[in-house]
Chain A
Amino acid sequence: MKALYSLFFVFALLLVVLFGVGAAHLNMLFGVWIPYVAMAVFLLGFIYRVYDWAKSPVPFRIPTTGGQQWSVLPEVKQNRWDNPTTVRDTVIRMAFEVLLFRSLFRNTKSEVYKNENGGPVVAYASAKWLWLFGILFHYSFLTIVIRHMRLFTEPVPGFITLIDSLDSLLQIAAPTLYLTDVALVAAATFLLMRRILAPQIRYLSLAADYFPLFLILAIAISGIYMRYIAKVDVIAIKELTMGLVTFHPHIPANVGISFYIHLFLVSILLLYFPFSKLMHLGGVFLSPTRNLPNDSRVRHHENPWNPKIKCHSYADYEDDFREPMIEAGLPVDKAE
């Protein structure tokens, strides 16, 4: 049900463009103003959210330790990347986390067990897929974003051209098929299907979990449609996009409706981003269980709001129990 709501909403967005551009000819609105507003909301919203998190202090260093601590015993070997004590090792831990999804990978120790009939069974298959498709999804997305930068730069920097040519390495179909297009759609579909089909994941999913997946799928499909089926006029599109980045917005004549659909959906994604779970892009860097060294026992860390609460003092304790303490032969501070 929640999935259906989200799907309907994405369709509604499509209709908005079809009416807005196709029927009402609001090209300026959909080609210029909405993208500008979306970009502004995205940037300001993102910065605000990160600022808002950063504003709250980190009173304690609470890393989740994933291995042996630093020990003064030479034969006890520290697991430096899972239980770092230095900034360098913490950075490495974060890099593993952000670039390779290390914690998610922990799930994936795929071990072969025998089932009751003696046949081999791979444990944790689903979790392994989650890591694989998760990483495929994110890297495809990143590559696609970088590739698109060729529409916003003139001359196009070399590395963008390079990524572009690597991505179309297979040289199949015309225009050549991008690997990441396929990967993104496949990965997003997997993540969506997992949510819909695995009962325990469906149980904990919210509409807000389906919506971004549907939206990203719609963006990918509209992009693919533009490139391979509608075969839109890329020169005209680049004219428009360059107009946007140089703040000389202008709508060329040969831009088809499919582009407006694509652009509008991207704008919606940007608008939605700062208010949603997609902010995990920023949040992952701020997670105190990962981005801090396990070193509170080694060096002092300051809690900015430390309340310095006084403990029940020894003097008060002794006042309570002085007599029996003396009787029992325990030393006391004030023998009266």
Chain B
Amino acid sequence: MKDNQAAVADRWHTAVLDTYPPQTAKLWKQNTNRFTNPVGNSTLAALTALVGDLVVWDDADRICTHLEDVIKIRAVQDFTPGKAVSFVFLLKKVIREVFAQDISRHGLASEVAALETRIDNLALMAFDIYVGCRERIYLMRIEEFKNRYHMVFRKAGITCTDPGDILGPLGPDGESA
């Protein structure tokens, strides 16, 4: 697994892009300019990092950062919540495909089981992050509304200066404007 990280990441990337319409998937895989093709390239970078994280499995914060890079994008695309985080499970399939021979030849079932447990953990983290992203979207909607009528509220004397008073703190790093 350590030696094959790039191959795993690449297969995983392909599998994830295949959750988009085929004509889009191809384009996003081909264009390697990170500014004109942010989805394809952010996803690839984050998945590659995640494969590495999975092997090392030491820093939950870092793993969350990488997961968030992917989920953030999928959370605002036309996916149901399940489909948005399903990409994590695709990794199981990819690993079984890439290492099929090694697994059967060397009897690595227990290693695979351990790895898959990590992936299950990853999925749970992904779910938390997804919900966090959605919460942030809704808070942003409220914030935007308040910003728009900022002076009108002030004129009416109904300004609320700290949204935290009412709404609680914003998402992970979504500071109030």
Interface residue A150 (Cβ < 8 Å from any Cβ of B): no
Cα distance A235–B100 in the bound complex, in angstroms? 70
Size of interface on B: residues with Cβ below 8 Å to A? 17
Interface residue A203 (Cβ < 8 Å from any Cβ of B): yes
Known interface pairs A111-B33, A123-B32, A124-B33; A116-B27 also in contact (CB < 8 Å): no
Known interface pairs A117-B6, A198-B26, A199-B23; A123-B48 also in contact (CB < 8 Å): no
Enumerate B1-44 residues with CB–CB distance to A below 8 Å. 6, 9, 22-27, 30-34, 36, 44
Do B31 and A199 touch across chains, with their CB atoms under 8 A apart?
no
Interface residue B45 (Cβ < 8 Å from any Cβ of A): yes
Cα distance A269–B6 in the bound complex, in angstroms? 51
- Chain B, residue nearest A115 (CB): B32
Cα distance A199–B9 in the bound complex, in angstroms? 23
Cα distance A123–B34 in the bound complex, in angstroms? 9
- Chain A, residue nearest B32 (CB): A121
Do A199 and B30 touch across chains, with their CB atoms under 8 A apart?
no
Do A200 and B23 touch across chains, with their CB atoms under 8 A apart?
yes
Interface residue A113 (Cβ < 8 Å from any Cβ of B): yes
Q: Which residues in B have their C-beta under 8 angstroms from that of A126?
A: 30
Q: Which residues in A have their C-beta under 8 angstroms from that of B25?
A: 199
Do B45 and A123 touch across chains, with their CB atoms under 8 A apart?
no
Do B34 and A200 touch across chains, with their CB atoms under 8 A apart?
no
Cα distance A62–B26 in the bound complex, in angstroms? 34
Cα distance A126–B127 in the bound complex, in angstroms? 37
- Which among A121, A123, A202 has the greatest number of chain B C-beta atoms within 10 A? A123
Report A127 CB to chain B, min CB distance, Å: 9
A116 touches which of B23, B26, B33, B45 (Cβ 8 Å): B45
Report A193 CB to chain B, min CB distance, Å: 14
Across the A-B interface, how many residue pairs have beta carbons closer than 8 Å? 32
- Chain A, residue nearest B45 (CB): A116
Q: Which residues in B have their C-beta under 8 angstroms from that of A199?
A: 22-23, 25-27
- Chain B, residue nearest A123 (CB): B33
Report B156 CB to chain A, min CB distance, Å: 15
Do B27 and A113 touch across chains, with their CB atoms under 8 A apart?
no
B33 touches which of A113, A198, A200 (Cβ 8 Å): A113
Cα distance A198–B32 in the bound complex, in angstroms? 16
Enumerate A93-147 residues with CB–CB distance to B below 8 Å. 111, 113, 115-117, 121, 123-124, 126
- Chain A, residue nearest B13 (CB): A116
Q: Which residues in B have their C-beta under 8 angstroms from that of A115?
A: 32
Q: Which residues in B have their C-beta under 8 angstroms from that of A124?
A: 31, 33, 36
Do A113 and B26 touch across chains, with their CB atoms under 8 A apart?
no
Cα distance A116–B32 in the bound complex, in angstroms? 10
- Chain B, residue nearest A116 (CB): B48
Report A199 CB to chain B, min CB distance, Å: 4
Report A204 CB to chain B, min CB distance, Å: 8
- Chain B, residue nearest A109 (CB): B33
Contact code string A246-290 (vs B, CB < 8 Å = 1, else 0): 000000000000000000000000000000000000000000000
Contact code string A197-212 (vs B, CB < 8 Å = 1, else 0): 0111011000000000
11 A-B pairs within 8 Å (CB atoms) are namely A111-B33, A116-B9, A123-B33, A123-B36, A124-B33, A199-B22, A199-B23, A199-B25, A200-B23, A200-B24, A203-B23
Interface residues of A (CB under 8 A from B): 111, 113, 115-117, 121, 123-124, 126, 198-200, 202-203
Interface residues of B (CB under 8 A from A): 6, 9, 22-27, 30-34, 36, 44-45, 48
Closest 7 CB pairs of A and B: A200-B23, A123-B33, A199-B23, A203-B23, A121-B32, A199-B26, A199-B22
